[in-house]
Amino acid sequence: MVHLSSFLLKTYHGGHVVIRLALGGATNRPFYRIVAAYNKRARDSKYIEQLGSYDPLPNIHNEKLVAFNYERIKYWIACGAHTTKPVAKLLGLAGFFPLHPMTITEAERRQKAASIEEVKTDSQEQVEEAL
């Protein structure tokens, strides 16, 4: 049986399935589950299926661990699920989706900020040397 999104939502007019991050964890320690849920549900409440996880804090080896169940993500997208921005960004970084434009924009902004910082520190050093 194919779970067509509109078929699932006979009593749920105007809603749709989303693939989004559900927050869990503890104080000052976030942990996200990548989840297929109805649009109108609360962020952390009952979901249809868990499709993976995302740990935003890097571990000892400086890695942020992300897990995806690609088969099921493909199935839900085929059923008409939407993805939220952070999920789309992560999938773009993983190579499953094309790169999200905001990822590139953020990277460029950071590079610009970093180069301005450099110029600032260089000029400061020059001024100090001149004194």
Q: Which of 23, 94, 116, 119 binds another protein (CB under 8 A)?
A: 94
Q: Three-state SS for 82?
A: strand
What's CA 119's distance to the chain center, in Å?
32
Cα gap 2→46, rounded to integer Å: 21
Q: Tell me whether strands 82-83 and 17-26 are parallel, antiparallel or unpaired.
A: parallel
Closer residue to another protein, CB minimum distance, 40 or 110: 110
Q: Three-state SS for 53?
A: strand
Total of residues contacting another protein (CB under 8 A)? 27
Binding to another protein by residue 68, rule CB under 8 A? Answer: yes
Q: How far is the CB of 15 from another protein (least distance, A)?
A: 27
CA atoms within 13 A on the CB side of 82: 8
Binding to another protein by residue 70, rule CB under 8 A? Answer: yes
Binding to another protein by CB under 8 A, coded x per residue (else -) over 38-67, reads --------------x-----x--xxxxxxx
Stretch that binds another protein, among 6-14, 23-31, 38-46, 91-99 (CB under 8 A): 91-99
Task: Identify whether the C-beta of residue 12 lies closer than 8 Å to the C-beta of residue 38.
Answer: yes
Cα gap 21→59, rounded to integer Å: 20
Binding to another protein by residue 27, rule CB under 8 A? Answer: no
Residues of this chain that interact with another protein (CB under 8 A) are: 52, 58, 61-72, 90, 93-95, 99, 103-104, 106-108, 110-111, 114
